[in-house]
Amino acid sequence: MTHPHNRRRTITSLVLFGCTSLALATVTAQSGSPRSWWSPGQGTPLANLSTYDNERGQLGVLNASGQLETKGHPFFEPIGSNGRACVTCHQPADAMSLSVRSIRERWAASGGKDPLFAAVDGTNCPNLPPDDPRSHSLLLERGLIRVSLPWPPRRPDGTQIDPEFTIEVVRDPSGCNMDAVYGMTSANPSISVFRRPRPVANTKYTTHQNFGVSPFIGKNGMPAATDPLTGKPTSMNLMSDARAPTLAVQAEDAARSHLQIAGSLSAAQIARIVEFERQVYVAQVASTTAGSLVEADGPPAFGPRNLEAGDAGVLGNNTTRYVFPLGGKWAHMPHTNDEGENARGAARESIARGHDVFMFRTFWIKDSMHLNSVGLGNPTKRTCATCHGMHMTGMDTANGWMDIGTTNLPWASEVPLNPWNEAKPQMPLFRVTCKPTVKEHPFLGRVIYTQDPGRALISGQCNDVGTIVMQQFRGLSARAPYFSNGSAATLRELVDFYDRRYTIGYSEQEKQDLVNFLGAL
């Protein structure tokens, strides 16, 4: 890597997998170092295996097909009209997603001029003054990109869906949903929601054609979205609202909406983008406390090479395969006279305990649409791995949109309103009313308040309000904040959300262990 501002470092597989001490030294040396940023068109190659520092250690990015020449590559070149490339929001250092830390650093480095802050969706609404950081507050504070969706929703063939509900704007801090040009009453009625960019990596898992993929969705019996090229049903697990069934469709959608491309991507450009996305893997490779995560005899759950080798689209919520297989490692580390070695052993034991919390700690899961409604009963006494069951990623193998309360009230994070708090809500709030001709939502009733209707903005179905496709657990340490609306700033806040939502009652030790486990993925 030759770019002077890029701290990416290429190391050989031998070093990464066989030399723990060197990897540890690297982690220590790079701790707190500036973040790397991949600018559109910078033209430097993306190595076969690269590592990037983050607060919990190092992320590994694996190009399974070997070093990639990015010069002229449509994923890395600013092919749109606003100077962005795909890589703008899918940064290698951020696990092919985008961390709020990188966003803030980019704002500081560019004075807000970076194409990332393009008015179209890098502002809270395109009509706001571009140089004012307040115009970009959702991006700068929660890492959120504006997503404008037509209302009423449309099918892939462009025909309009008659939605099962009406929707009203209750709160519109961005001003975009009530705006005469961009809002619901505009010439092109649209609803603006704000969402995190998802990691474009490990895509053999996010686009698998294996267990749980069928012509009719196993959670509601509706027809699954099909690949327009093959006609085959898809897992619909790429995007938070499942609106793009394939990588190719997503690339076209993103080029049009986020890059503001003139015309459309060529077939050759789509093919190159998809080819790249099909072979890039990301996962944490080193921990600041537990050392290398990818030693030759280490747990087979960790690192991008294990992801490359793993079976895609198979259920891991069992004790024969496991979601994240530790292979019996790290549960009991030997104690020595070396304090450093013992500290590392303790950190590894914490990761192993966190795995067991994820896999075996039961709690009552209640009132979650497309979870309790799919044959498990309400409530169901299960574990994290029940829903996060796909081997190696923790996604759903089947179509994975659910309502766990991240965007629907009463569980969604809201600013406490009182005379002593100057903070104001930043997220929009919608009131959704299920029409009398359909049955009310089984857990939320006929009127639902939500910050983001999620899948319902695509399907038009009442039962989909606030449902979000769950995402993979990989590279979490590199891409805070979490949840589709960035409402959890840290992994600890993420764990606390679940603890609160499902009245789990995790002990402090369980929470710490779970955070350490998630941070190692």
Binding site for other proteins (CB under 8 A): 214-224, 226, 231, 317-322, 359-360, 362, 364, 366-367, 372-383, 385-386, 439-440, 442-443, 445
Q: Which is nearer to other proteins, 178 or 438 (CB)?
A: 438
| Min dist. Cβ of residue 441 to other proteins (A) | 9
| Min dist. Cβ of residue 164 to other proteins (A) | 12
| Min dist. Cβ of residue 247 to other proteins (A) | 21
Unique residue bearing structure tokens 């038009």: 460
Among 396, 405, 389, 299, which Cα is nearest to 351's?
299
Q: Which is nearer to other proteins, 81 or 503 (CB)?
A: 503
Q: Which is nearer to other proteins, 222 or 415 (CB)?
A: 222
| Min dist. Cβ of residue 512 to other proteins (A) | 21
Q: Which is nearer to other proteins, 203 or 393 (CB)?
A: 393
Q: Supply the DSSP string of 320-363, one letter for each residue.
A: TT-SS--TT-SSSPPP-S-HHHHHHHHHHHHHHHHHHHHHH--E
| Min dist. Cβ of residue 382 to other proteins (A) | 6
Phi, psi angle pair for 26, to nearest 5°: -65, -45
Alpha-carbon gap, residue 509 to 495, rounded angstroms: 12
Copy the structure tokens of residue 284: 């944490």
| C-alpha to C-alpha distances, 291 to 17, 339, 434, 499, nearest whole angstrom | 12, 14, 52, 28
Q: Which is nearer to other proteins, 26 or 408 (CB)?
A: 408
| Min dist. Cβ of residue 57 to other proteins (A) | 28
| C-alpha to C-alpha distances, 437 to 237, 252, 444, 458, nearest whole angstrom | 30, 36, 17, 19
Contacts of 97 (CB under 8 A, 6+ apart): 89, 90, 91, 196, 197, 198, 199, 200, 475, 478, 479
Alpha-carbon gap, residue 416 to 423, rounded angstroms: 8
| Min dist. Cβ of residue 463 to other proteins (A) | 10
| Min dist. Cβ of residue 317 to other proteins (A) | 5
Alpha-carbon gap, residue 325 to 300, rounded angstroms: 6
Unique residue bearing structure tokens 């994290």: 384
Among 64, 84, 66, which Cα is nearest to 75's?
84
Q: Which is nearer to other proteins, 229 or 262 (CB)?
A: 229
Q: Which is nearer to other proteins, 340 or 364 (CB)?
A: 364
Alpha-carbon gap, residue 253 to 191, rounded angstroms: 16
Among 488, 438, 445, which Cα is nearest to 466's?
445
Q: Which is nearer to other proteins, 321 or 492 (CB)?
A: 321
For residue 431, list its beta bridge partners. 168, 449
| Min dist. Cβ of residue 325 to other proteins (A) | 12
| Min dist. Cβ of residue 115 to other proteins (A) | 39
Alpha-carbon gap, residue 471 to 6, rounded angstroms: 28
Alpha-carbon gap, residue 396 to 402, rounded angstroms: 10
Q: Which is nearer to other proteins, 189 or 228 (CB)?
A: 228
Q: Which is nearer to other proteins, 359 or 515 (CB)?
A: 359
| Min dist. Cβ of residue 460 to other proteins (A) | 13
Contact criterion met (CB below 8 Å) for 265 and 74: yes
Q: Which is nearer to other proteins, 113 or 364 (CB)?
A: 364
Copy the structure tokens of residue 75: 């994923």
- Is there a cis peptide before residue 481, judged by omega within 30 degrees of 0? yes
